[in-house]
Amino acid sequence: MQQRKQYLTVLFLILPAFAIVFFIAIYPTVYSFVISLEDFSITDPAPANFIWAQNYVELFLNDDRMRNALFNTVSITAIAVTAELLLGLILAFAFNQNFPGNGIMRSAILMPMMTTSVCVGIIWRLIFNPNFGIANYFLSVVGLPPLLWLSDVKVALFAVSLADIWQWTPFMFLILFAGIRSLPVAPFEAAKIDGASNWQLLWRLYLPMLKRVVLIAVILRIIDVLKIFDIVYVMTKGGPAMSTDTVTMYIYRVSFDHFHTGYAAALSWVFLVIIMLASAVFLRYVRYAE
């Protein structure tokens, strides 16, 4: 009886959340999986045929663009998340000191996180303009040659990552800073009494104790950066010469420009599986680290 009451309680507690989520998510999930097994095209008046795994086979064997897009997406994620983590750590330690204006500056630093991605893209596109942008102006002021930024096949990926880093480093900073602030004081005082240097404090105490916080932050960011769309769409649309083509851009093009809706669904599922595998790896590491 107690058991049943407990089950009922649990049910009612999780009901609101799961009701909303499944209501919205169940149809798209089933729909996209079913059409990934068909040669469905949204503009084709004829009913779609089941071609089973053909879309997936074609994807794995023939699709160079998907490979390119995956490579770009993973690159952007790696660059952006690493940079955000490092910068976030540096900022978190810096702001851990007491100095005048600490609180106000902290609020100011959070500003980029609150900006719409579309606006971030527009502003950085303006900044990176090869002829009129302020980025090249600053380079010229310090004597460096101008870069083509979003027009340069070698640089565009970094430029797009830079926009994301600008926008989301505050998020990392916030989490890491909170983590540092909530660490117990005792071990650090003991270590200082024992004569530990700052460097030793960092490596032996701070970082290991922050491991869990760092991992959760990293996994949340990885999931979000892999899905990056607005910034790429506004800044480069996947160019120049496909060097910033991400998986979501590619899926968007295939479903909205070329109308191969079934194939786009197959691409989405493959991508989803990749994201799930990546986060499963990290989550396991989180549990292991506890």
Partner 1 sequence: MSSTQKVGRRKFLKYAGAAIVAAGVVGGAGYYLTRPPVGPTSTETMATTTVMESPTATPTETLAARLNLVGTVEAHCYAKKEIGAAPDGDYFKKTGTEVVVEQFPYDPTHEREVLELSTSSPTYDIICSDNFWIPEYSSAGWLWSLDELHSMYPDVPEIDWNGISWIGSHEWYKHYAAHNDLCVVLMAYRKDLFEKYGVTDTGGKPKIPVSWDDYKTTIKDLTRDGNYGAVYHLGGRDAGYTDWLVRRQGMASVKGPIGVYDYVVDEKWNPIFNDSKGVEALEMLIEDLKYAVPGYLGIDYPEAIAAYQNGKAATFITWSVLMFEFDKPDVAPLIVGKSGYAPPPYSEEPHFIPGGWHMGVNKASKNPKDAYRFISYIISAEGQQAMLNHGAVTAYRKEFLEDPKWIAKYPVMEAVPKLKNPYPFTITGQWVEMQRIIYEGIAAAISGKKKPQQALDDASDEVHDVLEKAGYYQ
Partner 2 sequence: MSHKVKTYLSNLAVAFIAISSLVFALFPFYWAVATSIKPNELLFQVPPVWVFEPTTKNYELVFKDWKVANFLTNSVIVTSISSLLCVGAGTLAAFALARFKFRGRESLASELLSIRMFPPVVVAIPIFILAYYLNLLNTYTILVLVYATFNIPIVTIIMRSFIDEIPIEIEESGMIDGCTRVTAFLRITLPLCRDAILSVLVLSAIFSWNEFLFGTILTRMETRTLPVIAGQTMTQRGIDWGPAAALTVITAGPMLLFGMLIQKYLVRGMTFGAVKG
Least distance to partner 1, CB of residue 69, Å: 12
115: its two tokens: 């900006």
* Cα separation, 250 vs 242, whole angstroms: 10
Residue 17 near which of partner 2, partner 1, none (CB within 5-8 Å, type-dependent): partner 2
Name which of 122, 104, 89, 57 is nearest 202 in CA terms. Answer: 89
Helix axes of 2-36 and 261-289: crossing angle, nearest 10 degrees = 140
Name the residue nearer to partner 2 (CB basis): 243 or 268.
Answer: 268
Q: Does residue number 236 form part of the binding site for partner 1 (CB under 8 A)? A: yes
Give the one entry of partner 2, partner 1, none that residue 118 binds, where binding means its C-beta sits below a cut-off of 5 to 8 angstroms depending on kind: partner 2
Contact by Cβ (8 Å): 223, 111: no
Q: Segment near partner 1 (CB under 8 A), from 89-97, 145-153, 219-227, 268-276?
A: 145-153
CB of 145 to partner 2, least distance (A): 15
- Which of the stretches 78-86, 100-108, 168-176, 232-240 binds partner 1 when contact is defined by CB under 8 A? 232-240
Tell me the Ramachandran region of residue 177: left when phi exceeds 0, alpha when psi lies from -120 to 50, beta otherwise. Answer: alpha
- CA triple 176-225-31, angle to 5 deg: 130
Identify the H or E element spanning 253: none
Crossing angle for the helix pair 54-62 and 261-289, nearest 10 degrees? Answer: 70
Nearer to partner 1, 130 or 187 (CB): 130
Out of partner 1, partner 2, none, what residue 78 binds, judged by CB under 5 to 8 A for its kind, is none
Closest CB 81 distance from partner 1, rounded Å: 25
Name the residue nearer to partner 2 (CB basis): 153 or 272: 272
Which amino acid is it at 15? Answer: L
Q: Show the site string, 34-63: x = touches partner 1 by CB under 8 A, - = not.
A: --------xxxx------------------
Among the residue ranges 9-17, 48-56, 123-131, 194-202, the one whose residues contact partner 1 (CB under 8 A) = 123-131
Closer residue to partner 1 in complex, CB, 12/132: 132
Nearer to partner 2, 243 or 250 (CB): 250
The residue among 81, 242, 275 whose CA lies nearest residue 267 is 275
Tell me if 187 contacts partner 1 by CB under 8 A. Answer: no
The whole-angstrom separation of Cα 233 and Cα 117 is 10
Residue 38, beta-bridge partner list: 50
Q: Quick one: which of 54, 87, 109, 130 contacts partner 1 (CB under 8 A)?
A: 130
Smallest gap from Cβ 127 to partner 2, in A, equals 7
CB 166 within 8 A of CB 124: yes
Contact present, 36 and 266 (Cβ < 8 Å): yes
Q: What residue ranges bind partner 1 (CB under 8 A)?
A: 42-45, 129-132, 148-153, 156, 236-237, 239-243, 253, 256-259
